[in-house]
């Protein structure tokens, strides 16, 4: 989102054009709310049943459109499940890949050693997660009922977890993990397109777990306010806090350099994620000197001219995200500055409580045939 639109939606822009824009968008946000509640009513009354997979399903996502850390949280959940001795499989929509529009089910990883598909076909996030979780099968498809059935039939997991699936209403979930950015947990409080909310804040009540991410990026007043609001909206949920912790710099040799490896270096910061500005700020806080920033929309598909431009000389290194690295590394020009990806891990304050909540949901899952 560009700065002008963000200022309009947040209310920071107070010029006549901004005021008129907010007034015009407000009814559309209300219509979104009414339409959503109307759509969900048959599920709430039992007139329509959700599809149940034969294994427990764990969904990760957010109420706000944008980046709150769903991908690193999915990696953390996958590791916790593996550490507990489970055989998880991951389902993703494959946003941005050619397969998303084509439909069907595609296997990104069979769990035998990393991705076997191209991000251009299956999307950047599934390939990134397949690299991070080489022992976990990863399957993509717009229809998570079909991809879930396919994953269960082919890989025989005992639990399935889904990246960015809170708003996939057709599938029954044993546990929902809701992520909220501590700095703005519900954006401006309005639904799309007046704000960035996919659902109203009141829907947080269905959460099993709420994680306030980027907790370290908010001051003490905001931390306390966000915690209080979340606990009021989701009184029965486990509420955790988390930070996006830089782990190191990855390159094509699969080695991992220290987080301060590029301290003092002139870098070109490249990001095609929801919070590109946040990535640039992180690079700067790690001691590098961003000579320039090249920010693109989330899930951006890079074309040759763009790659040539961001691979130009004049810097010591091109710093990017792991999501972007999976799309850039194989096309990186010879002789260009080194391309390095900042590896980030989701660190929650009480991983033992999150692991226990996952185990509780799996143990409580009814062993019966799936609903059709």
pLDDT of residue 255: 80
Please name the fold of domain 57-244+348-363. Answer: Rossmann fold (3.40.50)
Cα–Cα distance for residue pair 212/184, rounded to 1 Å? 10
Condensed to tens digits (0 to 9), the pLDDT of residues 66-102 reads: 889 999 999 999 999 999 999 999 999 988 887 777 7
Condensed to tens digits (0 to 9), the pLDDT of residues 124-141 reads: 999 999 999 999 999 999
Query: Where does residue 114 rank: exposed (0-12), middle (13-18), buried (19+ CB within 10 A)?
Result: middle
Condensed to tens digits (0 to 9), the pLDDT of residues 215-245 reads: 999 999 999 999 999 999 999 999 999 999 9
Task: Kindly state the tokens that stand for 344.
Answer: 């980030």
pLDDT of residue 97: 84
Q: Is residue 199 within 8 Å of 191, Cβ to Cβ?
A: yes
Condensed to tens digits (0 to 9), the pLDDT of residues 251-308 reads: 976 689 999 999 999 999 999 998 899 999 999 999 999 999 999 999 999 999 999 9
For the chain, what's the residue count?
A: 372
- Nearest 5 degrees, angle CA 124-CA 129-CA 133? 155
pLDDT of residue 367: 62
Residue 64 DSSP one-character state = B
β-partners of residue 338 are: none
- Identify which of 62, 348, 70 has the alpha carbon closest to the alpha carbon of residue 187: 62
Condensed to tens digits (0 to 9), the pLDDT of residues 323-372 reads: 999 999 999 999 999 999 999 999 999 999 999 999 999 999 986 444 43
Cα–Cα distance for residue pair 305/303, rounded to 1 Å? 6
The residues, ordered by sequence, that sit 6+ positions from 108 with a Cβ below 8 Å of its Cβ are 92, 94, 115, 116, 117, 122, 126, 127, 130, 138, 139, 140
């Amino acid at each position: 989102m560009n700065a002008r639109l963000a200022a309009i939606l947040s209310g920071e822009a107070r010029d006549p054009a901004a005021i008129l824009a907010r007034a015009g968008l407000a009814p559309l946000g209300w219509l979104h709310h009414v339409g959503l509640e109307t759509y969900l009513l048959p599920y709430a009354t039992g007139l329509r049943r959700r599809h149940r997979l034969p294994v427990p399903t764990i969904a990760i996502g957010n109420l706000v459109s944008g980046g709150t850390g769903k991908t690193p949280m999915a990696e953390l959940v996958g590791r916790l499940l593996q550490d507990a001795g489970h055989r998880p499989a991951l389902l993703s929509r494959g946003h941005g890949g050619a397969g998303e529009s084509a439909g069907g089910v595609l296997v990104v990883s069979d769990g035998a050693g990393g991705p076997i598909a191209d991000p251009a076909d299956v999307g950047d996030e599934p390939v990134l997660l397949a690299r991070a979780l080489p022992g976990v099968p990863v399957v993509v498809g717009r229809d998570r009922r079909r991809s879930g059935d396919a994953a269960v039939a082919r890989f025989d997991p005992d639990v399935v977890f889904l990246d960015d699936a809170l708003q996939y209403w057709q599938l029954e979930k044993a546990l929902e993990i809701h992520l909220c950015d501590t700095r703005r947990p519900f954006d401006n409080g309005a639904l799309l397109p007046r704000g960035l909310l996919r659902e109203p804040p009141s829907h947080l009540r269905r959460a099993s777990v709420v994680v306030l991410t980027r907790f370290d990026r908010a001051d003490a007043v905001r931390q306390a306010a966000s915690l209080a609001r979340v606990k009021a909206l989701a009184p029965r949920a486990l509420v955790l806090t988390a930070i996006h912790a830089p782990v190191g710099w990855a390159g094509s040799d699969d080695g991992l350099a220290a987080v301060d490896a590029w301290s003092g270096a002139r870098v070109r910061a490249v990001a095609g994620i929801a919070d590109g500005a946040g990535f640039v700020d992180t690079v700067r806080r790690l001691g590098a000197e961003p000579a320039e920033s090249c920010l693109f929309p989330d899930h951006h598909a890079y074309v040759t001219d763009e790659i040539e431009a961001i691979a130009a000389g004049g810097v010591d290194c091109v710093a990017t995200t792991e999501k972007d690295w999976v799309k850039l590394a194989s096309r990186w020009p010879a002789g260009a500055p080194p391309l390095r990806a900042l590896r980030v891990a989701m660190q929650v304050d009480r991983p033992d409580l999150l692991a226990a909540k996952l185990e509780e949901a799996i143990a409580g899952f009814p062993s019966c045939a799936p609903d059709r």
